[in-house]
Structure 1
């Protein structure tokens, strides 16, 4: 539950930011600055407090839609659209900052980038990241939107661009809209097909990362770059 504390500051949020810096402002104050105005019945600080209390957590607020925002008294179409634009811009700024290195330094590092980009998707997206010999990113492409299965996830299509750009390495990732990044049996089978296909053409298959809500699953980190049937059998043994 998001708790809003009543605080009697001697300065308004804009003045406090100029005097102290943004790090010293509460979430409520920062949102009040972005909203700019309240209504004839409620101050902008109280309005921002009501918004945060309504969504309970910043994560829920980040995922809110225009329609959900407009259900809050005092939030009309204009303010709801401005809030969504602010959230998306902040997301893009954070993603751009992480992308600027242009290199995959590890599954954990790159999974944090992917979580920013993919955790809010309502459908599964499969992306392929093509790398040079130093793991610098040549290109990141969305292969398809849908469910990862043998029909839609064709290694040939994924590897076509890898061969075209002379990529030395490949990393693939997809999201689970449910929020649970635990791989399915279909994910395991697809991973093995990709691993075999990359071996056949001499491309280093680095990892398959599954993105959930604030969580991820790395096949490489979990030592599961192996036959899916072995993994399925191992899970069955664990469940006995």
Structure 2
């Protein structure tokens, strides 16, 4: 089996905190579908390492190599990414660095897996499902960071993941991430625009959770306004631009 090895140099004779976090979280997640498999962990005097199964492509490389993906293909890809995010969220883990490089694709079988959990958050055994959670992770190098992660160390990490996921959705459909901008594009269907704008809401509490994202998924919408009809009235009031005249 082909593998790849991620090396973490020790810091002042101590194990890298990202190594500790990634090894702990991957051990917690086990061999769940949608998560890159951790095959081995080694610790040496000057470094530590984790061996993973090797994937042939990242999401960015896959999209660049397949510019002719159909809408159905994109919907299926989004569905599989959502399933992987649901797996970690229901296991009490927020990735906190979802981006095009941290989603791996095996083109031979269509398998999608999340990787790079060194900046991730794992809730205690009895986590609060709602509210603000203190999180201490590196935010400066993230590709699609939620706004609140750049200004505070106290935020809901699961809501932050939804923002990053919204950026990824827009990239899959349009080829750009649209971080912080308002969704308005004639080439996006109304249901896609509404869902993505909800995910990119600057107010974390207004964003849907991963279950709601899957439930309102574009791939299952039977009409352009199906998503809107399933959104709560309070959310619709804030998006009058999408109401039917």
Higher relative contact order (CA 8 A, sep 6+): 2
TM over 0.5: no
Normalized per residue, the structure richer in helix is 1
Superposition TM-score, scaled by structure 1 size: 0.32
- Structure with max Cα Rg: 1
Superposition TM-score, scaled by structure 2 size: 0.31
